[in-house]
Amino acid sequence: MEKVVLKATKRTQTGKQVSKLRRAGQLPAVVYGHHMDTTLISLEAHSAGLLLPKLTSSSIVTIELDGKSIPALVRERQKNYIKNELIHVDFQAVSLNEKLHASVAIHFHGVSPAVKDYNAMIVHSLNKLEVEALPNDLPERFEVDLAGLAKVGDAVHVRDIAAPAGVTILNDPEMMIAITTATHEEPVAEAEVEAPEVIEKGKKEEEEE
């Protein structure tokens, strides 16, 4: 992917003042992380709105601020889904010379013969992998070809994923990523299912609309 550069300026607006900033065509953001204090910034909303959706959680973006180039990862994007526009972004500054932990998305492609020939369905257990690597070695995604799932019960595990040079996958190799299952299985008996705990990552700035 080509290098993505975002020009930023420092901002002082917080709380209700942020709405005025947005109406002026600016996107409020925050950058924090490697050897720097948390810094409130703003981006030109239109250009940022075109570039940011193309980035994955492991894409490096360069933030130009006060004459400095800051390599960073996008940690969180807040969006107004009614207007279909970003309203706030969290960036984590990184060092290009130090390994870091990151989440890399899994992209599924191809057609499983089990689905086509046996009317099976594919159950996805993981949609991202945790890795360790230098920022510039981070892959944008891991590709998984479903064409290898030939019959019901075939599965893809973490051990089946080939990591690029310089990248270490941190998940348990035996963890299942996807499996083909029959569509006519008996219903599961009643059981209490505990709702999963939702953990939000990244720093949020409390801002009132």
Rounded to 5°, angle at Cα 129 from 127 and 135: 125
Q: Find out whether 34 and 60 touch, Cβ atoms under 8 Å.
A: no
Residue spans per domain, the chain: 4-93, 100-181
Q: Could you report how far apart the first and last alpha carbons of the chain are, in Å?
A: 35
Q: Rounded to an integer, what distance in angstroms lies between the CA atom of residue 88 and that of residue 80? A: 9
- Token pair of 183 as six digits: 């569509």
Q: Rounded to an integer, what distance in angstroms lies between the CA atom of residue 50 and that of residue 62? A: 15
Percent of the chain with pLDDT over 70: 87
pLDDT at 54: 86
Q: Are strands 100-109 and 121-124 parallel, antiparallel or unpaired?
A: unpaired
Residue in the block written with tokens 């899994």: 106
Q: Rounded to an integer, what distance in angstroms lies between the CA atom of residue 74 and that of residue 55? A: 8
Fold of 100-181: RNA Polymerase Alpha Subunit; Chain A, domain 2 (2.170.120)
Helix (H, G, I), strand (E, B) or coil at 136: helix
pLDDT at 125: 95
pLDDT at 57: 86
Closest by CA to 13, choosing from 22, 3, 4, 1, is 22
pLDDT at 46: 93
Q: Rounded to an integer, what distance in angstroms lies between the CA atom of residue 135 and that of residue 26? A: 28
Q: What is the pLDDT along the chain (209 residues), one digit of tens a residue?
A: 578 999 999 999 888 899 999 999 999 999 999 788 999 999 999 999 999 988 988 999 999 999 999 999 999 999 999 988 999 999 999 999 999 999 999 999 999 999 999 999 999 999 999 999 999 999 999 999 999 999 999 999 999 999 999 999 999 999 999 999 998 654 444 444 444 444 444 444 444 44
Helices (H), 16-121: 17-23, 45-51, 113-118
Fold of 4-93: Ribosomal Protein L25; Chain P (2.40.240)
Q: Find out whether 159 and 180 touch, Cβ atoms under 8 Å.
A: no
Q: Tell me the pTM.
A: 0.76
pLDDT at 15: 87
